[in-house]
Structure 1
Amino acid sequence: MKVIQILLVFFILASCQKEKHPYTFYYWKTNLKLDQEEEKVLGEAPVPFLYTRFFDVDKAGGKFQPVAVITKDKSFRTGKQIVPTVFITNQTFLGISPEEISFLAKSIHELVEKKIREYDLKTNREIQIDCDWTSGTRNDYFKFLTELKRVSGKDITCTLRLHQVKDKKQTGIPPVEKVYLMCYSTSSPLEKSDRNSILDVSILKSYLSRLEDYPVKKIEVALPIYSWGIVTNHLGKHRLINALSEKDLNHPAFKKISAHEAEVLKDGFYFGSYLNRGFRIKVEEISEEQLDEVLSFLEKKIPDFTIIYYQLDSKFVSDRKF
């Protein structure tokens, strides 16, 4: 009886904990289109914004290139305001000149505005930049953020990775008033490890042990709800298959090794990829318990924050409680 009472208290506390933080989602596909489940879940989110990836930026042959610019399906509709989000590779800022910084900021602003007009999107006054900047690119990246704010007249925000918190003296503090802390990608999925590479809570806690000292005080929190399968071939090489779950391993051509790992018994196409006999598939998912533990930790560091779940996809939001 006592065990049941303790469990009830735990579940009540966990549900209260999530209700304290309003939430919404990232949208990270190249075609802006919602199925029935995605539309329903987004409509239930209390935050009035949808953080939408517009395009990526990379440098190839010495030239800046927009990559995978978003398109919009005619059926798309939402009452949320769109927050344009742009991912920029770190290499884009290697050896960049002041003139190129100005050109890049102007070009990104113009392409964002073009897509807003073209698709008649209702947006707020924010542009979010996602870049895994380093100590070697920090100065030029920060100049870019300042220039983008000047040319756009918008509120410029940016993502913040775990190592950029831990190593803030080396990576610097971005010139923004608000950052979005990415509480995932705690290690590389392509390294041989027993850890969950999407989210290992012990690693996250070690990286964020001094989060309360971070100079930018307005911190929102991005939490993972995605999953994938890590395929290992006979040579020990790894690759990813997106959106796999443990139930996908219940296949007659697979031999279950554990709840989250299986071996392929027969050559063939599985989940859109050709896999040979003997290949291994390890599924990484995020549990409610992991998310609750992260929230409990963060509340001691930054009590007030909004949650942005990555990402809005029926594969990831179905049967999950928000």
Structure 2
Amino acid sequence: MKIHSPSKIGVFWALLAILTLYGCDRSSAPQTHFYYWKSNAHLGELEKETFEALQAEKLYLRLFDIDKKPGAQPEPVGVINAFDTTGLNAAYIPVVFITNRVFSGLAQEEIKQLAVNTHQLIGQISEKSKLVNYDEIQIDCDWTNSTQSAFFAFLEHLKQLSNTEISCTLRLHQVKYKESTGIPPVDKVYVMAYATSSPLEDTELNSILDLALLEDYLQTINEYPLPFDVALPLYSWAIVTNHLGEKKLINGVSIQELENENFERKNNETYTVQQDVFVRGMWLNKGFTVKVETISPQLLRETKSYFRKKLKQPYNLIYYHLDSLFLKRFSIDDLKG
């Protein structure tokens, strides 16, 4: 029996099919961007190199927070210092974080004034930092059922004042319970794919990101009626428990920082303080326990794989955030979409 070799035409079409499939996979990979969340703003070499290596295009730049003390009016806090926007080839998106309590009990005129004040301060900082031609303003707020009406009204007023696209962050519970928390009147939302549980609870879970909990919250994500991108965490922290069971967070701590004679490992993430010591400016007494929660490269890869399989729409990834403290824990391949 004679075996016929494949024709040149057949080989051509087979190769074309393979290349087409490969090209589709490559083109469907989400693009990566970053948040930047420091008041004393300065981009170092690692931040710039990572941004450029990933061919990122957008930097979501937190300009200030807005908070309110009991009995007082809302006011800006943590305003960013002068930021050199020429140091990075990026499209800068102004971001403002507003605490939920700001919107509690605000009258309609106060909501309007808050939008005016917010818009003015964004303009002042943008002019000072030569942050021009931005086509989006993002508002970060974990609104609740009781503050939904005031927050949504604020977004509408800000839209009218700014004459630009308005986006907002979307917490996991606001995805799962969208019927009760409501759909914000914005052009786009950003799903915060972290903070899956409270770090102050006694649990074995990683409160920054537990993939099983994330999947539960996002079962109906494809039904969300607005376009969205996905924000992923790179940060870490330590949960410190004192002798009374009270807990506090220390941002940025890694397991490597506790691998010394001042700490005794209880399990993979938890240590007991062996002698009084400072950790990132916080005084820890002997006997305190310290649980380190972090995002490993493996967890990050698994989470991105979940989104690639789950989501039915194109989306971008925005990492929180562009800081050498966290970036050095990942390779460029780890961070690719």
TM-score (norm. length: structure 1):
0.91
The equivalent residue for 1:276 is 285
Within 5 Å, give how 1:45-84 maps onto structure 2: 45-60=54-69, 61-72=71-82, 77-84=87-94
**What is the CA-CA distance between 1:302 and the residue it aligns to?**
3.6
Q: Is residue 219–residue 305 contact of structure 1 (8 Å, CA) maintained in 2?
A: yes
| Residue of structure 2 aligned with 1:196, choices 206, 228, 237 | 206
What is the CA–CA distance in structure 1 between the aligned matches of 2:145 and 2:121, rounded to whole Å? 28
The equivalent residue for 1:6 is none
**What is the CA-CA distance between 1:290 and the residue it aligns to?**
1.9
Higher mean C-alpha displacement, 38-47 vs 239-248: 38-47
Higher mean C-alpha displacement, 85-94 vs 282-291: 282-291
Task: Indicate the structure with greater strand content.
Answer: 1
What is the CA–CA distance in structure 1 between the aligned matches of 2:26 and 2:214, rounded to whole Å? 19
One-letter amino acid of the structure 2 residue matched with residue 38 of structure 1: E
What is the CA–CA distance in structure 2 between the aligned matches of 1:256 and 1:283, rounded to whole Å? 11
Distance 1:249 1:123, change over 3 A: farther
String of CA shifts for 1:89-115, please: whole Å, max 9, x gaps.
111111111111111111111100100
One-letter amino acid of the structure 2 residue matched with residue 106 of structure 1: V
The equivalent residue for 2:6 is none
Higher mean C-alpha displacement, 259-268 vs 225-234: 259-268
What is the CA–CA distance in structure 2 between the aligned matches of 1:273 and 1:59, rounded to whole Å? 26
What is the CA RMSD across the aligned residues, in angstroms?
1.9
The equivalent residue for 2:14 is none
What is the CA–CA distance in structure 2 between the aligned matches of 1:19 and 1:252, rounded to whole Å? 48
| Residue of structure 1 aligned with 2:160, choices 134, 141, 150 | 150
SS at match of 2:87: coil
| Residue of structure 2 aligned with 1:210, choices 209, 220, 235 | 220
Distance 1:290 1:74, change over 3 A: closer
SS at match of 1:258: coil
The equivalent residue for 2:189 is 179
**What is the CA-CA distance between 1:246 and the residue it aligns to?**
1.3
**What is the CA-CA distance between 1:73 and the residue it aligns to?**
5.4
One-letter amino acid of the structure 1 residue matched with residue 89 of structure 2: G
The equivalent residue for 1:89 is 99
Percent identity for Structure 1 against Structure 2: 44
**What is the CA-CA distance between 1:35 and the residue it aligns to?**
1.3
SS at match of 1:50: strand
Q: Which runs of no fewer than 5 residues in structure 2 stay unpaired?
A: 1-21
Q: Is residue 227–residue 285 contact of structure 1 (8 Å, CA) maintained in 2?
A: yes
SS at match of 1:63: coil
Higher mean C-alpha displacement, 40-49 vs 306-315: 40-49
String of CA shifts for 1:201-259, please: whole Å, max 9, x gaps.
1111111111111111x110000010011111111111111111111121111111223
SS at match of 1:293: helix
String of CA shifts for 1:56-99, please: whole Å, max 9, x gaps.
11122331100111102569711112110001111111111111
What is the CA–CA distance in structure 2 between the aligned matches of 1:38 and 1:76, rounded to whole Å? 14
Q: Is residue 219–residue 302 contact of structure 1 (8 Å, CA) maintained in 2?
A: no
What is the CA–CA distance in structure 2 between the aligned matches of 1:245 and 1:18, rounded to whole Å? 35
What is the CA–CA distance in structure 2 between the aligned matches of 1:87 and 1:75, rounded to whole Å? 20
SS at match of 1:32: coil
What is the CA–CA distance in structure 1 between the aligned matches of 2:49 and 2:86, rounded to whole Å? 13
Residue correspondences, number: 307
What is the CA–CA distance in structure 1 between the aligned matches of 2:147 and 2:138, rounded to whole Å? 18
What is the CA–CA distance in structure 1 between the aligned matches of 2:143 and 2:321, rounded to whole Å? 22
What is the CA–CA distance in structure 2 between the aligned matches of 1:271 and 1:32, rounded to whole Å? 19
Q: Is residue 262–residue 277 contact of structure 2 (8 Å, CA) maintained in 1?
A: no
**Structure number, greater radius of gyration:** 2
- Find out whether 1:296 has 2:305 as its counterpart: yes
What is the CA–CA distance in structure 2 between the aligned matches of 1:263 and 1:306, rounded to whole Å? 40
Within 5 Å, give how 1:11-30 maps onto structure 2: 20-30=29-39
What is the CA–CA distance in structure 1 between the aligned matches of 2:243 and 2:326, rounded to whole Å? 30
Distance 1:75 1:55, change over 3 A: closer
Higher mean C-alpha displacement, 90-99 vs 18-27: 18-27
What is the CA–CA distance in structure 2 between the aligned matches of 1:39 and 1:285, rounded to whole Å? 23
Q: Which runs of no fewer than 5 residues in structure 1 stay unpaired?
A: 1-12
- Find out whether 1:264 has 2:273 as its counterpart: yes
Q: Is residue 33–residue 75 contact of structure 1 (8 Å, CA) maintained in 2?
A: no
**What is the CA-CA distance between 1:287 and the residue it aligns to?**
1.7
